[in-house]
Amino acid sequence: MAAVTTTSRQKLGWGATNLVVIALALIPVLWLASLSFKTPTAILDPSFVPAQWTWGNYTQILSTTQFIRPLINSIGIGLIATLIAVVLASMAAYAVARLRFPGKGVLIGMALLIAMFPAISLVTPMFSIERAIGLFNTWPGLIIPYVAFGLPLGIYTLSAFFREIPWELEKAAKVDGATPFQAFVKVIAPLAAPGMVTTAILVFLFCWNEFLFAISFTSTLASRTAPASLAYFSGSSQFTVPTGPIAAAAVVITIPIVIFVLFFQRRIVAGLTAGAVKG
Partner 1 sequence: MAEIVLDNITKRFPDGALAVNKISLDIADGEFVILVGPSGCGKSTTLNMIAGLEDITEGELRIGGKVVNNKTPKDRDIAMVFQSYALYPHMTVRENMGFALKLAKTPQNVINEKVEEAARILDLTQHLDRRPANLSGGQRQRVAMGRAIVRDPSAFLMDEPLSNLDAKLRVQMRTEVSRIQRRLGTTMVYVTHDQTEAMTLGDRVAVMRNGLLQQVASPQELYERPANLFVAGFIGSPAMNFLGGTVEENAIRTGIGDIPLTGRLQQVLSRSGSGRDVIVGVRPENFEDASSVPADVRPHGITFQASIDVLESLGSEKYIYFTQETGSVDAAELTELARDSGRADTGSGEATVVARLDPETRISEGDNAELWVDGRALHVFDPATGQNLTLGDSGSPASSAGPGGGAAPAQADAGAAGQDTGSAAPPPR
Partner 2 sequence: MTTTTEAAPGGATTEVAKGRKAPLSEGARAERRLGWLLCAPAVIVMIAVTAYPVGYAVYLSLERYNLELPNAVKFIGLANYGAVLSSSYWWEALWVTVLISVVSVTITLVLGMLLAMVMHRTLFGRGSVRTAALIPYGIVTVAAAYGWQYAWTPGQGYLSAMFNNSAPLTDQFKAIGVIVLAEIWKTTPFMALLLLAGLSLVPEDLQKAAMVDGASGWQRFVRITLPLMKPAILVAVLFRTLDSFRIFDNIFILTGGNNGTASVSILGYNNLFNALNLGIGSAISILIFICVAIIAFVFIKGFGTAAPGTDIGKR
Nearer to partner 1, 194 or 275 (CB): 194
- Helices 65-98, 139-164: axis angle to 10 degrees equals 40
To partner 1, the closest distance from the beta carbon of 191 in angstroms equals: 7
CB of 112 to partner 2, least distance (A): 6
Residue 175 near which of partner 2, partner 1, none (CB within 5-8 Å, type-dependent): partner 1
Provide the 10 A C-beta neighbour count for residue 200.
22
- For the CB of residue 93, give the shortest distance to partner 2 in the complex, in Å: 9
Q: Choose, by CB under 8 A, the member of 21, 22, 51, 169 that binds partner 1.
A: 169
> In the 3-class helix/strand/coil scheme, how is the chain assigned residue by residue?
CHHHHHHHHHHHHHHHHHHHHHHHHHHHHHHHHHHHCECHHHHCCCCCCCCCECCHHHHHHHCCHHHHHHHHHHHHHHHHHHHHHHHHHHHHHHHHHHCCCCCHHHHHHHHHHHHCCCCHHHHHHHHHHHHHHCCCCCHHHHHHHHHHHHHHHHHHHHHHHHHHCCCHHHHHHHHCCCCHHHHHHHHHHHHHHHHHHHHHHHHHHHHHHCCHHHHHCCCCCCCCCHHHHHCCCCCCCCCCCCHHHHHHHHHHHHHHHHHHHHHHHHHHHHHHHCCCCCC
Q: Which of 4, 100, 121, 262 binds partner 1 (CB under 8 A)?
A: 100
Choose the contact partner of 171 out of partner 2, partner 1, none; CB within 5 to 8 A by kind: partner 1
Pick one of partner 1, partner 2, none as the site partner of residue 181 (Cβ within 5 to 8 A by kind).
none
Shortest spacing between CB 195 and partner 1, in angstroms? 14
Beta carbon of residue 192, minimum distance to partner 1 (angstroms, whole number): 11
Q: Decide whether 80 or 268 has the Cβ nearer to partner 2.
A: 268
Neighbours of 243 (CB within 10 A): 17
For partner 2, the closer CB: 119 or 191: 119
Which residues, 171 to 200, sit near partner 1 by CB under 8 A? 171-179, 182, 186-187, 190-191
Cβ proximity to partner 1, 104 vs 174, nearer residue: 174
Q: Which does 192 bind (CB under 5 to 8 A by kind): partner 2, partner 1, none?
A: none
Please report how close the Cβ of residue 193 comes to partner 2 at its closest, in angstroms. Answer: 18
Q: Report what 108 binds from partner 2, partner 1, none; CB cut-off 5-8 Å by kind.
A: partner 2
Judged by the rule CB under 8 A, the positions of this chain that interact with partner 1 are 100, 166, 168-169, 171-179, 182, 186-187, 190-191
